[in-house]
Amino acid sequence: MNLELQNKVILLTGATGGIGKQVVLDFLQEDSIVICLIRNQKKMDEMRGWLKEHETSDLNVHSYVCDLMNFENVNETVKLIINDFNRIDVLVNCAGFAHEYPFALLNESQIDEMIDLNFKSPLYLIHAVLRPMFKQKEGCIINISSVSAVKKGRGIATYASSKAALDTFTRALSQEVGRKNIRVNCIRPGVINTSMSEALIDRSEDTIQASTALARHGYPNEISKAILFVASNKTASYMTGESFSIDGGMY
Amino acid sequence: MGVCINYNRQMESINDIFKVVAEIIEGSIGTPKEEIKIDQTLFDELEIDSIDLVDILFELESHYDIELKVSDIESRAREELGDVPYEVDGVITAKGIVMLRKHMTEIDPSSLKEGLTIHGLVRLFSVHSLCKIIQYRIEILDKEKS
């Protein structure tokens, strides 16, 4: 099926993470233009190498170094991108971070880091991209939350709360911008085989099998394909304000 | 409406700006520009809501290549008051009201009364107020350049 994502400008955070790089690959295979907001060039270079290993040209991948937790820097970077590409069709907020630790033992900076990166930074970026999206009279925003926002888990109280906040923000913002043809949705991945979940999978594979209907963890492409579905006006033009889990039927 | 940035800003009168504003309001909410009057209030008479206003401001920013803030309209009042408070806890002070009556002559003075909140002031904005925000920003830019 042609998702009609050719030449669409996709802005992505967390592009060098396990889910993120699969998202980059999948959009490139749809002939989209992918712009990655990165913290350092080294990981971006590694990602380009990974794309080549997957026989995918990196010609349509571009990167901008940006401090996602700096409101001004985010605004300036989005202005540069608009100057260079003229539009942003889809924003995917994929950056995320978890200190898996009992809440009572977290220090101030660990709490702040999770709230800032998982919740505040997507808001900063959305705030910046709404201006061009209003002007182009369409847009699609996809927030990557976590199944922990709605399911139980230990050692993730702050992380889960920050992701739940993103879920709620998604729903509320969709009501503000829907009439301007901007769709806002949220995907909650379950336990996905990435470096972020490696330790969890290693120590809890049996529990994951026992607590998911599909009796296994997920893979990045099982999330990225859903992101493409939501991004495409061919498949999801009537979808907004929605948060849904892709978690293998976790209970 | 396309972006138009290479023109002589000093030629912009309120009447010139009004023509652009009316066209952009038409594009945003569908009201024919011929039916839009400069003294109509945005919220109550033109039935523009806050999201439409954002849309209209962004379009105007593109057209004039400037950055606009709704609070620009109050800026002159604040500037002239200096250290005297313009508002306290979101409620405009008596001296603030006096300044607003001076600078926002397009608004019915009987609406500018004690107890008016900053949020309430926005609801009194007319098409003319919007034109003045743009003119104000253009003037500031021109001053910065000269």
**DSSP line for A215-251:** SS-B-HHHHHHHHHHHH-HHHHTT--S-EEEESSSB-
User: CA A74 → CA A23, A69, A118, A123, distances in Å?
Assistant: 21, 8, 15, 10
Q: How confident is the model at residue A9, as a pLDDT?
A: 98
Interface test with B, best of A78, A127, A134, A174 (most B CBs within 10 A): A134
Query: CA–CA separation, A136 vs A181, rounded Å?
Result: 10
* Cross-strand pairs, A160: none
Report the mean per-residue pLDDT for chain B. 86
Taking contacts as CB-CB distances below 8 angstroms, the residues of chain B near A131 are 58, 61
Touching check for B75 and chain A: CB below 8 Å? no
Taking contacts as CB-CB distances below 8 angstroms, the residues of chain B near A180 are 51, 55
Q: How confident is the model at residue B71, as a pLDDT?
A: 79
Residue B1 reports pLDDT greater than 60 = no
Radius of gyration of chain B (CA): 15
Cβ atoms of B97 and B113 closer than 8 Å: yes
Averaged pLDDT for residues B35-59: 93
Query: CA–CA separation, B8 vs A201, rounded Å?
Result: 64
pTM of the model: 0.87
Residue A246 reports pLDDT greater than 70 = yes
Touching check for B64 and chain A: CB below 8 Å? no
B5: confidence class by pLDDT, cuts 50, 70, 90: very low
Averaged pLDDT for residues B27-52: 94
Distance from the A176 Cα atom to the nearest Cα atom in chain B, whole angstroms: 7
Taking contacts as CB-CB distances below 8 angstroms, the residues of chain A near B59 are 134-135
Structure tokens at B24: 């952009």
Interface test with A, best of B3, B53, B54, B64 (most A CBs within 10 A): B54
Q: How confident is the model at residue A40, as a pLDDT?
A: 87
pLDDT digit string, tens, across residues A147-179: 999 988 888 999 999 999 999 999 999 999 999
**Are B58 and A179 inside 8 Å of each other by CB?**
no
Sign of CA dihedral B101, B105, B108, B111: negative
Q: How confident is the model at residue A196, as a pLDDT?
A: 72
Among A3-7, A117-121, A145-149, B69-73, which is the least confidently predicted range? B69-73
Touching check for B59 and chain A: CB below 8 Å? yes
DSSP one-letter string for B71-123: THHHHHHHHHHTTS-SEETTEEPHHHHHHHHHH-TTS-GGGS-TT-BHHHHHH
The b/e string for B59-86 (b: 16+ C-beta within 10 A; e otherwise) is: bbbbbbebebebebbbbbbbeebeeeeb
Touching check for B66 and chain A: CB below 8 Å? no
Interface test with B, best of A135, A138, A177, A182 (most B CBs within 10 A): A135
Query: CA–CA separation, A162 vs A122, rounded Å?
Result: 11
Residue that wins the pLDDT comparison between A222 and B109: A222
CB pairs under 8 A between A and B: 14
**Are B62 and A179 inside 8 Å of each other by CB?**
no
Catalytic residue among A64, A124, A159, A238: A159
Active site (annotated) includes residue A159? yes
User: CA A65 → CA A13, A14, A144, distances in Å?
Assistant: 11, 12, 20
Task: Kindly state the percentage of chain A with pLDDT values over 70.
Answer: 100
Distance from the A134 Cα atom to the nearest Cα atom in chain B, whole angstroms: 6
